[in-house]
Structure 1
Amino acid sequence: MRYLPLADHDRQAMLRTIGVSHVDALFADVPADKLLDRLVALPTAKSEIAVERHLAAMAAKNVAAGAVPFFVGAGAYRHHVPATVDHLIQRSEFLTSYTPYQAEIAQGTLQYLFEFQTQVARLTGMDVANASMYDGSTATAEAVLMAHRITRRSKAVVSGGLHPHYRGVTRTTTELAGFAVDTLDPDPTGTEDILARIDGETSCVVVQSPSFYGHLIDLKPIAEKAHAVGALLVAVFTEVVSLGLIEPPGAQGADIVVGEGQSLGNPLTFGGPYVGLFATRDKYVRQMPGRLCGETVDADGKRAFVLTLSTREQHIRRDKATSNICTNAGLCSLAFSIHLSLLGQTGLTRLARVNHANAVKLADRLAAVPGVAVLNDTFFNEFTLRLPKNAADVVEALAAKGVLAGVPARRLEPKHPHLDDLLVVASTEVNTDEDREAFAVALAEVLG
């Protein structure tokens, strides 16, 4: 991007045009304690070699997820990604292709997106899926906006088991649009009564299963209550591998299903880019955000692919757009699709069984550590521990012993001090018996 210098009168003209008096007004929504009041203390100049050495030394302090026993989850999971995935997505026709505006020269891109949509629809038990979203959190926020359009109501009831980041993105997106969000308190025990919050003003009910705390939620009674008052059920997941074992949300009555697809084909990569999944019923397809690839035939009667639906803000009828999301996570969705194709239905089920079995072994082993309690009666590959000490302190102590143990609930729920002793732990197919034993032994030492 070119550097375009501006004079003071240029800046003042821009500020007058947008109706503010000072640049600081543009940051009014950022909490005051998050704003810098001085320049960052950095040297004014260093040679390129010196900068590289300094940054390399800083990077060396990081601990790679694959270098130690790793049990961190909470929406981002370490799974084994076959080498085939990276080999294929690095091909130039995939790696460098841009958005498929011209169908006649983008048949390959459109076809893999069509296959991706088919896979997501089958996984979720829904009629139709779009060509992906940015990530699970933005997909959730878009699902709420979509439900408001369909029901012509403006209040969402949000479960306390929804991932805090998803909840935050949804709240920010909907509040700026003038919509109400009725959010239940955090639900570490999986016992909230969300049915009591659903009424005739409810647009949609947003429920995550497995929840942020790992609990499996029966969506059927929630769907029945929502539908009885004319509301929709938005079902959310952060661990897509769970759909290899759990009854699909569509079969449980969900109207919109959204989630994160990172677990398939996409490594942790420090938090992104990831791939949001979005599926719904046929009757709601025209309210779905993003784009939809379809299959047709060309002038010669041969199979061909097109952008069937793409009501995006940058198109000619942008005033009719359902969303301002302008693209899809193309390369990440391709990685997802390749990994899932390699697994197949049988392989996905087997992978899910291994994940669950590993998590059960870990939960049983950690529950035997004095002072530790597992809060879950049900879970897939993630569960919550109650510790006799502050969970954040325990995590730091375990990291010093070479075990990355999980995510303290309070870290993502800073306003709820009663969560101080809760630790969310994940176990996938990459964890071994030795990893589990190392975790248990180190935890006993830290708590002893």
Structure 2
Amino acid sequence: MRYLPLTSDDRSAMLATIGAASIDELFADVPVDARLDGPMAGLPMHASELAVERHMAALSRQNRAAADGPFFLGAGAYRHHVPASVDHLIQRGEFLTAYTPYQPEIAQGTLQMLFEFQSQVARLLGTDVANASMYDGSTACWEAIVMARRITKRGKALLSTGLHPHYRSVARTMAKYTGDVLVDGDPSLDAGTDWAALADKIDRETSCVVVQYPDILGRIDDMTALAAACQAAGALLIAVVTEPVALGLIKAPGEMGADIVVGEGQSIGVGLQFGGPYVGLFACKTKYVRQMPGRLCGETVDANGKRGFVLTLSTREQHIRREKATSNICTNSGLCALAFSIHMTLLGEAGLRQLAAINHGRAKQAAAELAKIPGVSVLNNSYFNEFTLLLPTEARPVIHKLAERDILGGVSLGRLYPANANLANGLVVAVTETVTAADISVFAAALKEVLA
């Protein structure tokens, strides 16, 4: 096929058709300070392939890998050990594809993997059914909110203050175009969650209540009473899980009455990868399955009576009438879902529980040692592998000074909530199985030195 670029007349005709005076108008929703007003400074207009390779290699050498020193970052993305066998197996020919398995007769490997993935996710989250994955946790959270609107015919969602601020931001962005009313706010530095207060706010206009478990500060609470309050008012309870490894040790949200459980599956099988691609988890009660976004793989038998797999439900606009579509999600995170499923299979139930126990044990060790530092205290009464430290000074400069010592000491609440001075001294610290006792000691010594 020949490539025929557009002429100036072609562009003018297209702009006239959509009612735009210039191409620049197409970027009106992008903040002015985020737009380039010309070529990027420091980059030549053209260069040889060899020169570009050398330049990019030099840039890459400035990066710091997560394994290069003590690493305590979390807040929704976690460093876990991914066995080398995961990377090997996802490249096998039975699985390696970037395309949707529309033709089941030639995609049985991919379809069976997705079926197994769904089974694993449903069991992990404590629900009846799960779909074949979403883009990531934040978009899965939003899809759950609009799913609740379809089910309840209501348009107000109560978001816990403990919900990740990036998830809240995605929901606010999308709600501008749907008319959903979102009631939210920043967390307070309390040991307990705001779930009891949320229950008191539920009314007949509420479509859903969204909570994170464990929440952004690492706090864990029982959602049974909140689920009962939602049910009594005809609203749905949506639980968000950003650290699925925790469910190897704590009770699954579905078992406590959550109607929809979504989350980020990156912790299992997927590396940090500079922030993506990740894999969204989405599960719910059986009675809501036809309102679930994405696609669902099912088990059947072929003409010869042999076991087989097919796409059972596909709810996007490409498959059914646009007005009947529940989502415009056009694919699932297939390769990341495969990595998740393989890692989960390698672990098994016993392995996941053991991994979770190791995470919690290392976190307890770190919390105890860090709390010995003068002026430092641990906010949480309960936590899994992530907790919030209260420092005697603003956390952001402390984080920068630790980074100068090659220690990534956590995520400051000042970074997550830059407009809220009340949270400036909070520091969220994540401790996974990749953290050693030596890492904890180095971190504690450096933090003590920086705060002195």
Shared topology, TM-score over 0.5?
yes
Shift in CA distance, 202/92, structure 1 to aligned 2, threshold 3 Å: same
1:166 and 2:132 are equivalent in the alignment: no
CA contact (8 A) 1:208 1:217 kept: no
The CA deviation at 1:316 is: 4.3
CA contact (8 A) 1:311 1:318 kept: no
CA contact (8 A) 2:193 2:221 kept: no
**Secondary structure at the counterpart of residue 381 of structure 2:** coil
> Cα RMSD over matched residues?
1.6
More moved, 424-433 vs 165-174: 165-174
One-letter amino acid matched to 2:186 = D
More moved, 172-181 vs 145-154: 172-181
Give the TM-score normalised by the residue count of structure 1: 0.97
Aligned pairs for 1:193-342 within 5 A: 193-342=197-346
Specify every segment of 5 or more residues in structure 1 that has no aligned partner in the other structure, as ranges. none
Aligned counterpart, 1:5? 5
Aligned counterpart, 2:58? 57
Shift in CA distance, 293/187, structure 1 to aligned 2, threshold 3 Å: farther
Given candidates 378, 381, 396, the residue that maps to 2:400 is: 396
The CA deviation at 1:25 is: 2.3
Residues 167-187 of structure 1 show CA distances to partners (whole Å, capped at 9, x for unaligned) of: 111111122111111113224
The CA deviation at 1:310 is: 0.5
Aligned counterpart, 2:437? 433
One-letter amino acid matched to 2:17 = T
One-letter amino acid matched to 2:450 = V
Shift in CA distance, 300/213, structure 1 to aligned 2, threshold 3 Å: same
| Count of matched residue positions in the alignment of Structure 1 and Structure 2 | 448
CA contact (8 A) 2:98 2:334 kept: no
More moved, 142-151 vs 420-429: 420-429
Given candidates 351, 356, 361, the residue that maps to 2:355 is: 351
Distance in 1 separating the partners of 2:280 and 2:435: 26
Aligned counterpart, 2:25? 25
One-letter amino acid matched to 1:87 = H
The CA deviation at 1:96 is: 2.7
One-letter amino acid matched to 1:124 = L
CA contact (8 A) 1:157 1:206 kept: yes
Aligned counterpart, 1:142? 143
CA contact (8 A) 1:211 1:217 kept: no
Aligned counterpart, 1:186? 187
More moved, 295-304 vs 269-278: 295-304
Aligned counterpart, 1:78? 79
Residues 405-430 of structure 1 show CA distances to partners (whole Å, capped at 9, x for unaligned) of: 11111212222222221111100011
Which of structure 1's runs of 4+ aligned residues deviate more than 4 A? 1-4
More moved, 84-93 vs 111-120: 84-93
Distance in 2 separating the partners of 1:58 and 1:420: 32
The CA deviation at 1:372 is: 1.2
The CA deviation at 1:3 is: 6.7
Specify every segment of 5 or more residues in structure 2 that has no aligned partner in the other structure, as ranges. none
Aligned counterpart, 1:34? 34
**Secondary structure at the counterpart of residue 369 of structure 2:** helix
Distance in 2 separating the partners of 1:407 and 1:248: 26
One-letter amino acid matched to 1:329 = S
Distance in 2 separating the partners of 1:289 and 1:308: 13
CA contact (8 A) 1:128 1:285 kept: yes
The CA deviation at 1:346 is: 0.7
Distance in 2 separating the partners of 1:115 and 1:179: 34
Distance in 1 separating the partners of 2:97 and 2:121: 24
Give the TM-score normalised by the residue count of structure 2: 0.96
Aligned counterpart, 2:372? 368
Distance in 2 separating the partners of 1:3 and 1:371: 65
Residues 230-252 of structure 1 show CA distances to partners (whole Å, capped at 9, x for unaligned) of: 10000001000011011110111
The CA deviation at 1:313 is: 1.3
CA contact (8 A) 1:187 1:213 kept: no
One-letter amino acid matched to 1:65 = A
The CA deviation at 1:39 is: 2.8
More moved, 417-426 vs 126-135: 417-426
